[in-house]
Structure 1
Amino acid sequence: MKKIKVVKKQILQRKGDLYSKSYKVESGLLRSYTIDEKGKEHIFMFGPEGWIVTDYVSPKEPCELYIDALEDSVIIPIEKTSTQDIDLKKFIKRIRVLQNRVIMLMSASAVDRYEHFISTYPNIIQRVPQHMIASYLGITPEALSSLKSQRLRSKQ
């Protein structure tokens, strides 16, 4: 598998592209997201080192997500039609994380979602802008700021 270097803000995939790949992150940080009809970004997932970032559509369907680099990164593109072995344990773990996230978005409080974010992505909290974390959590940046202040007060 060939490693490639991508630079911060480089777009790897756009919504509507007919040909998509999966990306294994060797170093750096990727994200996948969508933009709604009002122009608002909604972060689907972050992909730190060791994670696989992909759009879960078949190779012949248009992509639903954008994928870009949040940091200069080294990635391994994986053809979706390829028979190359994707680490099945990591893939199943990723599906489990996404399933838990959907359940949390449907039923958990913003505080619980934030705590879950911290436990899921412990190494990227300082690497991602706060407005992106808020987008991932489905709250405003102001609500995230308030939530973080409450969390700090409760730990004192």
Structure 2
Amino acid sequence: MYDIFHKYLEEKITLTSEESERIRSFAILKKLRKRQYLLQEGDVWQYHAFITKGCVRTYSVDDKGNEHVIGFASENWWTGDRESLLSGNPSRFNIDALEDSEIILFTNANFELLCSEIPAFNNLINTILQRSFVVAQNRIEAALSYTAEEKYLNFVNKYPGFATRIPQSMIASYLGMTPETLSRIRSQITRK
């Protein structure tokens, strides 16, 4: 499991063998079964999590019991609740596995130590955070200005594997539409 993370790092940055071993020494390996929680609402998130296998979703549940999907993450993606991590406040979100998954966890203290000790690792994390900000900006813009069909097509183009891997009801929730609307859009697209 760690070898996948190591390969990911090698593709992105150059590390000495000592730096690589230092990162490995802090890695916590976690396996999740399908539908098992990585984080539950009300718990404080304390990790940086990298997915080596599988797929997870981050979501909230409103007062009426409706789920609102915030995002998905699969192999070679980072996940977690940054707000809870930075504030120390209980999370408003749940993260659960959509498939059997394998995840590398780093406690926040150890992660920050790695960032301070290994400049290349710190630069990688900063680049990821910057890209995440851009992705969030683009998602907000799409939510505010795209039609339902444009939202779906944008999703499929950006994340081609997700359309067949993730239940349609969860994709609909992520896009801010009902499953019926998504089904209608998919049918219209197929007929074109």
Q: Structure 2-normalised TM-score?
A: 0.74
User: Following TM superposition, by how much is the alpha carbon of 1:108 offset from its aligned partner in structure 2, in angstroms?
Assistant: 1.2
Instruction: Give 3-state SS (helix, strand or coil) of 1:3's partner.
Output: strand
Determine the structure 2 residue equivalent to 1:108.
Answer: 146
State which of 72, 77, 83 in structure 1 corresponds to 2:100.
72
Distance (whole Å) between structure 1 residues aligned to residue 128 and residue 63 of structure 2: 33
Describe the superposition over 1:123-150 as per-residue Cα deviations: whole angstroms up to 9, x where unpaired.
1211111100110111011100100011
Radius of gyration: which is bigger? 2
Instruction: Give 3-state SS (helix, strand or coil) of 2:103's partner.
Output: strand
| Between 65-74 and 94-103, the greater mean CA deviation after superposition | 94-103
Determine the structure 2 residue equivalent to 1:23.
Answer: 49
Instruction: Give 3-state SS (helix, strand or coil) of 1:77's partner.
Output: strand
1:41 pairs with 2:67: yes
Describe the superposition over 1:77-107 as per-residue Cα deviations: whole angstroms up to 9, x where unpaired.
1323331346423333223212211121122
Distance of aligned partners of 1:59 and 1:3 in 2 relative to their CA distance in 1, 3 Å threshold: farther
Task: Quote the sequence identity (%).
Answer: 36
Determine the structure 2 residue equivalent to 1:5.
Answer: 31
Q: Is the 8 A contact 1:30 1:48 kept in 2?
A: yes
Distance (whole Å) between structure 2 residues aligned to residue 79 and residue 98 of structure 1: 24
Determine the structure 2 residue equivalent to 1:60.
Answer: 88
1:148 pairs with 2:186: yes
Instruction: Give 3-state SS (helix, strand or coil) of 1:39's partner.
Output: coil
| Between 107-116 and 16-25, the greater mean CA deviation after superposition | 16-25
State which of 166, 173, 187 in structure 2 corresponds to 1:135.
173
Q: Is the 8 A contact 2:45 2:81 kept in 1?
A: no
| Residue identity opposite 1:74 in structure 2 | E
- In terms of fraction of residues, the more helix-rich structure is 2
Distance (whole Å) between structure 1 residues aligned to residue 106 and residue 140 of structure 2: 26
Structure 2's unaligned 5+ residue stretches are 1-26, 116-120
| Residue identity opposite 1:110 in structure 2 | A
Q: Is the 8 A contact 2:48 2:106 kept in 1?
A: yes
Determine the structure 1 residue equivalent to 2:18.
Answer: none
Structure 1's unaligned 5+ residue stretches are none
Aligned length: 154
Q: Structure 1-normalised TM-score?
A: 0.90
Runs (4 or more) in structure 1 with deviation over 4 Å come to none
Distance (whole Å) between structure 2 residues aligned to residue 33 and residue 20 of structure 1: 17
Distance (whole Å) between structure 2 residues aligned to residue 51 and residue 91 of structure 1: 12
